Structure 1
Amino acid sequence: MKMDKNKIGKLLTASAVPMLFLLICLFAIPLSQFSGSYLLNNIVTRLIRNSFLVLALLLPVMAGMGINFGMVLGAMAGQIGLIFVTDWGVPGAPGLILAAIIATPIAMLLGYFGGRVLNRAKGREMITSMMLGLFISGIYQFFLLYVCGSIVPFKTPGMLLSRGYGVRNALTLNVAKGFDKLLLIRIGGVNIPVGTFMIIGLICVFTVWFKKTKMGQDMRAVGQDMHVASTAGIAMEKTRIQSIMISTVLACYGQIIYLQNIGTLNTYNGADQAALFAAAALLVGGATVSKATIPNAIIGTALFHLMFLVMPMAGKYITGQAMLGEYFRMFVSYGVVTLALVLHSWKRQKDKEMDRSQFRIAVANPPDK
C-alpha cells in the first residue's frame, strides 16, 4: 500500500507543472471572453507554428545536455535561407524546400561549432548555449547589415536599405503558407493544415526511430552517465556534438515552418525568442532538463500558447487597462521558465525523499526466503 502511495506521489509530482498551467488556463479562459471556436482555431495555428521547434529540443535533453538554448543558431540559418529564397522569388512549398537546402549546411556547421564549445563547458551547457546564441547573433547581424548587398549580390533592391546594402528590418515572404496550403481542410469553422501536421508527424516518427538506433542508444547512455558511457567505449564527446548538430538542423527547419505560417520575417530579432519560448513550452508540458518526450512537447506547446493567448485579455478585463495585459504576456512568457525549473528542482527533491522512503521500507520488511 505504501509502495502504491509512493508511485502515486511520483506521478503527481511529475504532472505538477502541466496541472498548474492547466488550472491557470481554466481560470483565465472565462475572463478573456474568447469564444471556443476562436480559441480552438488559434491553438491549431500555434501548434503547427511552434511544435517543430519544441520537438527539436528533445535529443540534447536525451544526451544529458539540458535545454539547448543554442537552437537559435539553427533558427538564424533558417532565416538566411528564407532571405535568399525571397530575393530569388521562388514561391510556395518549392521555395521553402530550397530555403531548407540552403540553410542545412549552415546549420550543420553552426551545430558542430556549438557542440565543440559545449563539450568544453560540461555541466554548464544551458547557460553556455545561451551565451553562444548571443555571440553568433552578432555575426549574423553583421552579415546581413554589411555583407548582403555589398559583397553578396541581391537581385531585389527593395529588400535592401536605402544606402544600397544591408537587409531591411522586416520582409514579406513570398513563401508564406507554402506548407499550410498543401492540404488544407476546414472542420466546424476550424482550418486544419494537414500538410504541415504531416511534416510535424515526420519529426515525431524520426525521433521515435532515432532513439532505437545505435547513435540514439549512445546518446541515452551518455545522458545517463558520461563516465560509464566512456568506459563502455562510446565516443562521448562525438555523441554530444552529434546531438547538438541534429538539434540545430531541426531547429532550422522548425524556424522555416514557423515563419512560413506567419508570412513575415523580423530580419534581425526574429530568432531571439525562439529558444526561450520553445524551452518554456517543453517545460510546461512536464519535461525536465534531464527527461523530455514527444507528449511533453505537444501538450506543452498547446498549454503554453493557450495561456499566452488568454492571459493578456484576462489581464485587460481584470485591470481595465490593455497595456497591463501586455505586461501579463511578457511576465508569463519569462516567468514560466523560472517557475518550471523551480518546480523541477522541487520534484527532484521529492523523488529523492520517496526513493529513500522506499529503501527504508524494503530494509525494514525484507522479502521472505
Structure 2
Amino acid sequence: MKKKFELNRFLADNAVVLIFVVITAAATPISGLSIISIVQEILTRIGRNCFLVFSLILPIMAGMGINFGMTLGAMAGQIGLIFAVDWNIIGVPGLIFASLIGVPIAAVLGWIAGQILNRARGREMVTGYILGFFMDGVYQFIVLYLMGSVIPVHSLAITLSRGYGIRNTLTLDSIRQSLDRLIPLKIGGISIPLANYLVIGVLCLFIIWFRKTKLGQDMRAVGQDQQVAHSAGIPVDRTRIIAIVISTVLASIGQIIFLQNMGNMATYNAHKQTGFFAAAAILVGGASVSKATIPNVFIGTVLLHLMYIVVPRAGTNLFGSAMIGEFFRDAFSYAVIALALVLHAWRKRANAEAARSGLRGGAGDAAETAAVQGENS
C-alpha cells in the first residue's frame, strides 16, 4: 500500500511534466526533424527565453503566485529598445543602454504593481493579469501618441508618416543577436549562444545567493504564512513589493535579451504574451503557484519549446496542414496552466483535509486516553 501511495503522489506531483514528455516523445519522430536541428533550436530558445521565466521565481517564493504583471517589465524593456534604436547605439552597448532606460521604468512600475497587489491579497494572479491589460493601454498611448510629439524621437525611420508615433514593426538591426554572438562557440555544427548562458548562470547564482539572505528568508517566511511572518516582525507588505519589483526588473532585462535574439519587435504586441509563455514554461517544468525552483525553469523551457518545435511539423506530416499542429500547440499551452492551477487547488484542499483529520484524530486519542484513565481511577 505504501508503494502505491508513493506512486500516486509522484504521478499527481509530476502530471504536467509527464504529459508533456509523452506529447513530445510521440511527436518528435513524426515531425521528421533531425536531432541536430532540434538541439540547435532548443539551445537557442533556452538562451532566449530562460531569463524571462526566471523572473517568476521570487513572487512565487513570496506567496504571490505567478506574476502575470511581468508584462509591465516587458513594456519597460521595449521602451528602452526604442530609444537604443533611435539613438543608433550598436551592439552590446545598445543592450546596456536599453537596460539603463528600461530598468528604472520597470522598478517604478513594479513598485506600483506591488502596492496594488498588496490590496488584492489572495487574488494576485488575476489582478496582475488585468493590470497588464490596463498598462498596455498606457504603453500604447505613450508609444503611439507621445513619442515624437511630446517625447523627442530623432530618427524618422522609426516614426509613422504623420511625424509622431512609433512604427508597428521595429527592426533591431543595430543590436540584432549582439549578445548571442558576443562569445561565439560552435560544437559539432551546433552554435551555442555562450554569452546568453553566462548571463543566465549569473542570474542563477544571484537567486541562490538571494535565497540565503535575510530578505530572501523573509520572502520564504511570507510565502509560507503571512500572519506568522508578521508576528515575527517581518514587514510583509514591503517584502511582497520588493519581490514584485525585482521580478519586473528581471522581466525588463529578459525582454531585451529575447528581442535582440529575434532581431525585430512588434511595437504594440511583442509584450502581450510574455507572461503567458513564461508561466506556461515554469508550470510545465513541475512548478506550482506556491513553489518554484531553478530546475523547474530549465525543464519547463526545454519541454515547452520542444513541443513548439515538433508539434507543428508533426501536424503537417500527419494531416497535411501546419495549422492543425498550431492548434494543438496553443491548446496544450493553455491547458497546462489550467491543469497546474487545478492540481494546486486539489493538492491544497487535500493537505488541508489531511491536517483536519490529524487534528480530529489527535483529539479522539486524547479523549480515549482520558476515559481509560478515569476508568482506572
- TM norm structure 1: 0.93
Counterpart of 2:131 in structure 1: which amino acid?
L
Counterpart of 2:155 in structure 1: which amino acid?
T
Q: Deviations over 1:300-334 (max 9, x none)?
A: 01001111111112222222223222222322332
Cα 1:9–1:364 shift into 2, 3 Å: farther
Matched residue of 2:186: which SS? strand
Q: How does 1:285-300 map to 2 (within 5 A)?
A: 285-300=285-300
The CA distance in 1 between the partners of 2:15 and 2:111, in whole Å, is: 36
Confirm or deny that 1:305 pairs with 2:299. Answer: no
Matched residue of 2:178: which SS? coil
Cα 1:121–1:355 shift into 2, 3 Å: closer
Confirm or deny that 1:218 pairs with 2:214. Answer: no
Q: Deviations over 1:6-54 (max 9, x none)?
A: 4554334222211111111001111111111111011001101100000
Deviation at 1:105? Answer: 0.8
**Residue ranges of structure 2 left out of the alignment (5+ in a row):** 366-377
- The equivalent of 2:268 in structure 1 is 268
C-alpha contact 2:16 2:336 (8 A) present in aligned 1: no
C-alpha contact 1:10 1:351 (8 A) present in aligned 2: no
The CA distance in 2 between the partners of 1:357 and 1:13, in whole Å, is: 21
Cα 1:148–1:215 shift into 2, 3 Å: same
The CA distance in 1 between the partners of 2:352 and 2:310, in whole Å, is: 36
C-alpha contact 1:17 1:343 (8 A) present in aligned 2: no
The CA distance in 2 between the partners of 1:54 and 1:242, in whole Å, is: 18
C-alpha contact 1:283 1:340 (8 A) present in aligned 2: yes
Counterpart of 1:102 in structure 2: which amino acid?
I
Matched residue of 1:159: which SS? coil
Matched residue of 2:192: which SS? strand
- The equivalent of 1:93 in structure 2 is 92
- The equivalent of 1:232 in structure 2 is 232
**Number of equivalenced pairs:** 365
Cα 1:32–1:361 shift into 2, 3 Å: farther
- The equivalent of 2:184 in structure 1 is 184
- The equivalent of 1:338 in structure 2 is 338
Bigger mean CA offset, 307-316 vs 153-162: 307-316
**Residue ranges of structure 1 left out of the alignment (5+ in a row):** none
Bigger mean CA offset, 330-339 vs 282-291: 330-339
- The equivalent of 1:159 in structure 2 is 158
Q: Deviations over 1:250-294 (max 9, x none)?
A: 000100110111110110010000000000000000000000000
Matched residue of 1:280: which SS? helix
Q: Deviations over 1:176-223 (max 9, x none)?
A: 111111112111111101111000011111001001001101110100
Bigger mean CA offset, 242-251 vs 17-26: 17-26
- The equivalent of 1:199 in structure 2 is 199
Q: How does 1:326-365 map to 2 (within 5 A)?
A: 326-348=326-348
Matched residue of 1:265: which SS? strand
Deviation at 1:353? Answer: 7.2
The CA distance in 1 between the partners of 2:357 and 2:11, in whole Å, is: 17
- TM norm structure 2: 0.91
Cα 1:285–1:154 shift into 2, 3 Å: same
Confirm or deny that 1:317 pairs with 2:324. Answer: no
